[in-house]
Amino acid sequence: MNQKEWRRELGEVVRAAMRSEEIEHYFKVKITKPGAQVLITQLGLFIHHRRDCWSHVSGNCPHMSVKQKILQHEYGEVIKDNYTEHGHMELIVRQGKALGLTPEQVLNVAPLPSTMATLYAWAWMTREKSWLEGLVSLSVTEWANDDRLLGDIGGGLSSRMAKRWMDDLGFGWEQMPNFKVHSEADEEHSDMFLGDLEQFATGEKEALVVQTAKESMELLKIFRYGIAKEMERLS
C-alpha cells in the first residue's frame, strides 16, 4: 500500500474504535473533580509508559532512518517541542495542578487494573512483535487524537474530552494543557511514519500490521473504558 492507502486503511481502524460502545461510554460519563483526577493520572501512566514502548520499537528496528524519526518523536515528548519546554509529562502535572493535585500525587498514582493490563499488553507488543507491528501499535493510538480524521464523528480523544471538561467543570483551555497539546501535536505524529509503512510494510507484512493496529485499538478501548467506569463510580 502507498501512503494514501495506509492512511485510509488505518484511519478506518481508528474510526471504528472511536465509534465503539466503550469509547462512547467514556465520553458520556459526567466529569467530576475526583473523576477528572483519575483520568489525568491514568493518562500520566500511559504517557510515561509510551517512552518504554517507543524504546522497544527502536531497539527492534534495523533502519537508521526510522530510528531517527523515533528519536525526533521522543525528543518532543520527553525533552521539549513547539508546545512545551519541559516534555509532555509536565503537561499532565500542570493539568493535575488545576485539579488540586500535587506533582507527587500525579506521578506516583497506582494504575487501575485495566490500565495495568493494557500497559503490560502494549509493552509485550512493542517488545516481542516485529518492529513494524510495534510501530503501528503505538502510532494508531496517536491517530485517535487527530481531529482531521475524526472531526465528523465528534473529534479526537483530547479535543472531545476537553469539551466535556469545559461543560462539566467550567475549565478553559489554559487549565487543560495536556488536552490542548495532544489535540494538535498528534496530527503531526499521525503523519510521521506513513512513508515507512509504504517502504517496509509490504507483501505479507501488510496484513500483520493491520491486524496489530486493530489489536492496539482494542487495548485503547479497554484502557479508556476502565477509566470511564472508575470515573462513574466516583461521580
Cα angle for residues 6, 8, 9 (degrees, 5° grid): 65
| Confidence at residue 87, expressed as pLDDT on a 0 to 100 scale | 74
Show the cell assigned to 67.
Answer: 530510528
Tell me, what DSSP letter sits at residue 151? G
* Domain extent for 183: 3-234
Residue 128: how many CA atoms within 13 Å on its side-chain side?
Answer: 6
Q: Is 64 exposed, middle or buried (0-12, 13-18, 19+ CB in 10 A)?
A: exposed
Residue type for 37, please? Q
Q: How many domains does the chain have?
A: 1
- How far apart (Å, rounded) are the C-alpha atoms in residues 168 and 164? 6
Q: Is the pLDDT of residue 86 over 80?
A: no
Write out pLDDT tens, residues 174-196: 999 888 887 675 566 678 999 99
| Confidence at residue 88, expressed as pLDDT on a 0 to 100 scale | 81
| Confidence at residue 83, expressed as pLDDT on a 0 to 100 scale | 65
| Confidence at residue 80, expressed as pLDDT on a 0 to 100 scale | 73
User: Helices 205-234 and 113-128 sit at what angle, rounded to 10 degrees?
Assistant: 160
Write out pLDDT tens, residues 162-177: 999 999 999 999 999 8
Using an 8 Å Cβ cutoff, are 183 and 159 in contact? yes
| Confidence at residue 187, expressed as pLDDT on a 0 to 100 scale | 62
Write out pLDDT tens, residues 107-158: 999 999 999 999 999 999 999 999 999 999 999 999 999 999 999 999 999 9
Check which CATH number belongs to the domain holding 223 and give it. Answer: 1.20.910.10
Q: Is the pLDDT of residue 217 over 90?
A: yes
Q: What is the mean pLDDT of residues 207-226?
A: 98
